[in-house]
């Protein structure tokens, strides 16, 4: 009987790992293409990755100027996705 319990625990662990990986994949896709998290956008700004911020803004049809700051871009992106800029997840 103990072996059956061990097998169930192994399956549960594999399922948890799969779900965690799947959730991370979904978050990565959203960050890159759909609804980027504020945490992700702030990380891009911190890394001075204006090119990536502009690419995300263009993908979302956000209007921005050539001299807009990272914070302005992030605000425009957050507004276009209807997300709360205070959300960190």
Does the pLDDT of residue 45 top 60, yes or no?
Answer: yes
Please state the rounded mean pLDDT for residues 18-42: 77
What is the average pLDDT score of the chain? 78
Record the tokens describing residue 17, joined without a space: 């790992």
Record the tokens describing residue 57, joined without a space: 């803004």
pLDDT: is 83 or 68 the higher one? 68
Stretch among 1-5, 29-33, 42-46, 48-52 having the lowest mean pLDDT? 1-5
In angstroms, rounded to a whole number, what is the distance separating the alpha carbons of residues 9 and 38? 36
Which DSSP symbol is given to 4? Answer: H
Please state the rounded mean pLDDT for residues 57-61: 89
Write down the pTM of the prediction. 0.61
Closest Cα partner for 62 from 82, 85, 38? Answer: 82
Please state the rounded mean pLDDT for residues 45-66: 92
């Amino acid at each position: 009987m103990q072996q059956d319990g061990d097998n169930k625990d192994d399956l549960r662990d594999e399922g948890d790992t799969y779900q965690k990986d799947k959730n991370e994949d979904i978050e990565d896709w959203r960050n890159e293409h759909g609804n980027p998290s504020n945490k992700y956008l702030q990380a891009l700004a911190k890394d001075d990755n204006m090119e990536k911020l502009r690419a995300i803004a263009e993908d979302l049809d956000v209007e921005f100027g050539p001299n807009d700051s990272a914070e302005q871009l992030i605000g425009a992106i957050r507004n276009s996705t209807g997300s709360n800029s205070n959300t960190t997840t």
